[in-house]
Amino acid sequence: MKIIIGSDHGGLLLKDKIFQHLKDKGYDVDDVGTYSAMSCDYPVIAKELTTKVLDSSCLGILVCGTGIGMSIYANKVKGIRAAHCTDTFSARLSRQHNDSNVLCLGERITGFGLALDIVDEWLNATFEGGRHKRRVDMINELDEVKG
């Protein structure tokens, strides 16, 4: 499975941990940066990642200091359903019920161990469809209204 991963400077260390974790598990990981601790703008990375997630119909993981800026940006992109998670239960349910296609994490909020568990829980869960599809379709219709 292909996973796109990205962060700003505030999420660099956690992003690199997740990158290695996913590589070790055999995932095909595409890292869109940032690649240094130099300050950068999270919307630039979020734009690059969400474009690739939509083009490849795959999943993406965004990390910044809190996870909030990345999630605000990502959820403005039509077709992206970003889940900002600080626990494994929310991460699992965001896939099962909300069909989230982007996971947002905060390096300054969530410790590395828990963050990797959140990533695993999110990737191992699948969308349940049924009544949840009806609700996700309603969100997609909202995307259409916004253009």
Q: By CB under 6 A, which span of 19-27, 60-68, 112-120, 123-131 interacts with ligand RB5?
A: 60-68
Q: By CB under 6 A, which span of 19-27, 62-70, 81-89, 113-121 interacts with ligand RB5?
A: 62-70
Q: Does residue 31 belong to the site contacting ligand RB5 (CB under 6 A)?
A: no
Task: Give 106: exposed, middle or buried? Use CB within 10 Å, 0-12, 13-18, 19+.
Answer: buried
Q: In terms of CB distance, is 54 or 72 closer to ligand RB5?
A: 72
Which active-site residues does the annotation give?
64, 97
Q: Does residue 6 belong to the site contacting ligand RB5 (CB under 6 A)?
A: no
Q: Does residue 69 belong to the site contacting ligand RB5 (CB under 6 A)?
A: yes
Beta bridge partners of 63: 7, 105
Cis peptide before 110 (omega within 30 of 0): no
CA–CA distance, 95 with 67 (Å, rounded to integer): 17
And the tokens for 116?
């990797």
Residues that bind ligand RB5 (CB under 6 A): 8, 10, 42, 64-66, 68-69
